[in-house]
Amino acid sequence: MNTVMKLQSGARSAYVNHSSPLTEVLLSFKKEFLVVGLFSAVVNLLMLTPTLYMLQVFDRVLNGQSFTTLFVVSLITLFLFVMMAFAEWARSILLVRTGVKLDQALSKKVFLSSFLSYLNPSESEPSKAFGYLITLRQFMTGNGVFALFDSPWLPIYVGVLFLLHPLLGWLAIGFSVVQVGIAWYGYHVGRDAQLTSDASGATAQKFMQS
């Protein structure tokens, strides 16, 4: 009984002293997120490499009929592709390591909070906390976080298309609207089935952890 009371007291103390542990832990990885943002900027800038390469081929190589120019431009493009692949690999590795460190930093707090919830009958489904932690770690190491870092570059890509030709820019905007509409429709069509699946998974998880 004394051990339980000590654990409960420690859990309450941790909860009081850290009103928002998730925010504090995420802020402690601010340096890692800035580096990932830098690598994402490099990757997104170098995504324009094929477009610039084709522009140089049509503007310089075909007009000048110079094999040397084609060789140099191709060599530079190959180097930029290698740099883009390295930046993509580096940010993936960094995010995986950050996800593991995030799990290690939050796992103890999640356990204490979950244990305190089990001791408090007014709380419901405390086992969900571990599922949320797993979901957060998977998001940190998956494609979702890449989309979060890459999405701010969408206006830049559209702007480049407008510079090439206004019709290309409007086509890009049109297809973006279509894609958002398809995603919205798919979300609403599968929402009920997803909610049912989540509820069943939560019930199974609660039973297993109990």
Q: What's the pLDDT score for residue 84?
A: 92
What pLDDT score was predicted for residue 124? Answer: 53
Domain-by-domain residue ranges, the chain? 2-153, 165-210
Q: What is the mean pLDDT of residues 8-21?
A: 49
CB-CB contact of 84 with 41 (8 Å): no
What is residue 77's predicted lDDT score, i.e. its pLDDT? 92
At 48-97, the pLDDT tens digits run 888 888 888 888 777 777 788 888 889 999 999 999 999 989 988 888 88
| Mean pLDDT for all residues in the chain | 78
Residues 190-208: tens digit of each pLDDT? 888 888 887 787 777 777 7
